[in-house]
């Protein structure tokens, strides 16, 4: 379990920072965090971003317990850690002027509304008037938060941390949005801006499920054995070829995820698909 937690720390940091534009690879992130190595040709800022994100995850684990109640101080503290030594003038502070998000289909609200909007979002999350489940609640929180865009910078990284407080306080594993899914993620956010939460909910559910499956596959005797598709096709009872299983994976018809260039799935997922199709 400790190993998995370590691996998530690196994955989560790599993916969240890469979405934001950090160019450290997964392996380089691991070298910076675990071995304290400086990567030649990478800026000091990129190193700080990795270290800061690690510190913020530790902070998050220290906050999470049953019945955790979300509050603005913790959100500001997380943001403060994310931007520490990078943009100290903004770290842990709400913005006091307008911002624009390039590629987004809306303009975030006026700066003097930010504090009020953030407080009412947090109140909404804590009262949960629509009785949303933890994944739905984390999804709504994520979307409304980046819509408010409370900070000049670091909104995405902060919310990708803070939303996991909402999942983890209920015993869910953290949802890690993969940098491979960046385009899908932004388009899902744009759809949520139009009131259509379907794609974002799916993305968040899949992200949570992926982490959960990694935990489950660590349990001895587990059938959640993720393999690259080129391995799965070698199993004697799998009647499909690599192309077709890849297609099913891309279409979301089987439980699968992408790491680097490769799709991973389980033999069970393919067999389940065959069984469901026969019904």
Interatomic CA distance for residues 106 and 104, integer angstroms? 6
- Smaller CB separation from Mg ion, 54 or 153: 153
63 vs 168: CA distance, rounded Å: 10
Q: Which two tokens stand for residue 184?
A: 């899908």
CB 22, CB 50: distance < 8 Å: yes
Q: Which is nearer to ligand ATP, 33 or 161 (CB)?
A: 161
Of the candidate spans 42-50, 101-109, 129-137, 223-231, the one that interacts with ligand ATP by CB under 6 A turns out to be 101-109
The H-or-E segment that residue 114 falls in is helix 114-127
Assess contact for 147 and 106: CB atoms under 8 A: yes
Name the catalytic one among 58, 149, 170, 257.
Answer: 149
20 binds ligand ATP, rule: CB under 6 A = yes
- The residue assigned the tokens 């720390």 is 9
* Residue 228 three-state SS: strand
Would you count residue 77 as binding Mg ion (CB under 5 A)? no
Q: Any contact of residue 173 with ligand ATP (CB under 6 A)?
A: no
CB of 108 or CB of 173, closer to ligand ATP: 108
- Span 139-168, contacts to Mg ion by CB under 5 A: 153
Q: Which does 96 bind (CB under 5 to 8 A by kind): ligand ATP, Mg ion, none?
A: none
Site string for ligand ATP, 108-147 (x = CB under 6 A): --------------------------------------xx
In this structure, the chain runs to a length of 279
For ligand ATP, how many residues bind (rule: CB under 6 A)? Answer: 18
| Residue 11: CB minimum distance to ligand ATP, A | 15
For ligand ATP, the closer of residues 28 and 255 by Cβ is 28
Q: How far is the CB of 27 from ligand ATP (least distance, A)?
A: 20
What is the spatial distance between Cα 236 and Cα 83, in angstroms, rounded to a whole number?
51
Q: What does 193 bind: Mg ion, ligand ATP, none (CB cut-off 5 to 8 Å by kind)?
A: ligand ATP
H helix runs in the chain, sequence order: 2-20, 26-35, 44-63, 72-82, 114-127, 134-148, 155-168, 182-193, 198-217, 229-232, 242-250, 267-277
Return the number of other C-beta atoms located less than 10 Å from residue 183's C-beta: 8
Q: Where are the beta strands (DSSP E) in 186-278?
A: 227-228, 256-259, 262-265
Q: Of 188 and 245, which CB lies nearer to ligand ATP in the complex structure?
A: 188
Task: Walk across the sheet containing 227-228 and list its strands.
Answer: 227-228, 262-265, 256-259
β partners of residue 256: 265
By beta-carbon proximity to ligand ATP, the closer residue of 186 and 240 is 186
Minimum Å distance from CB 272 to ligand ATP?
Answer: 33
Smallest separation, CB 20 to Mg ion (Å) = 5
Q: How far apart are the first and last CA of the chain?
A: 38
Is 149 labeled as catalytic in the residue annotation? yes
Query: Does residue number 101 form part of the binding site for ligand ATP (CB under 6 A)?
Result: yes
Q: Please, what is the angle between helix 155-168 and helix 44-63, to 10°?
A: 20
Count interface residues toward Mg ion (CB under 5 A): 1
Binding site for ligand ATP (CB under 6 A): 19-20, 101, 103-105, 146-147, 151, 153-157, 186, 189-190, 193
Binding site for Mg ion (CB under 5 A): 153
Give me the active site residues, please.
149
């Amino acid at each position: 379990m400790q190993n998995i937690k370590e691996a998530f720390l690196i994955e989560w940091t790599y993916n969240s920072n890469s979405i934001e534009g950090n160019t450290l690879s997964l392996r380089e992130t691991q070298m910076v965090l675990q071995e304290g190595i400086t990567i030649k040709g990478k800026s000091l800022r990129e190193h700080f971003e990795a270290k800061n994100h690690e510190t913020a995850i530790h902070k998050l684990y220290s906050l999470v317990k049953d019945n955790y109640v979300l509050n603005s101080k913790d959100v500001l503290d997380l943001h403060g850690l994310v931007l520490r030594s990078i943009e100290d003038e903004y770290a842990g502070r709400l913005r006091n002027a307008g911002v624009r998000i390039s590629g987004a289909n809306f303009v975030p609200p006026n700066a003097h509304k930010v504090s009020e909007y953030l407080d009412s979002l947090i109140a909404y999350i804590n009262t949960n008037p629509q009785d949303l489940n933890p994944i739905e609640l984390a999804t709504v929180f994520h979307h409304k938060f980046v819509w408010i865009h409370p900070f000049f910078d670091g909104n995405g990284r902060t919310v990708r941390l803070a939303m996991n407080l909402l999942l983890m306080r209920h015993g869910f594993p953290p949802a890690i949005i993969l940098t491979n899914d960046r385009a899908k993620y932004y388009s899902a956010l744009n759809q949520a801006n139009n009131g259509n939460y379907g794609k974002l909910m799916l993305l968040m559910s899949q992200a949570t499920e992926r982490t959960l499956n990694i935990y489950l596959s660590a349990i001895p005797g587990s059938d959640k054995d993720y393999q690259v598709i080129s391995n799965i096709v070698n199993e004697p009872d799998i009647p499909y070829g690599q192309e077709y299983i890849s297609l099913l994976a891309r279409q979301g018809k089987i439980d699968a995820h992408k790491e680097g260039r490769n799709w991973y799935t389980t033999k069970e997922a393919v067999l389940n698909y065959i069984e469901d199709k026969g019904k």
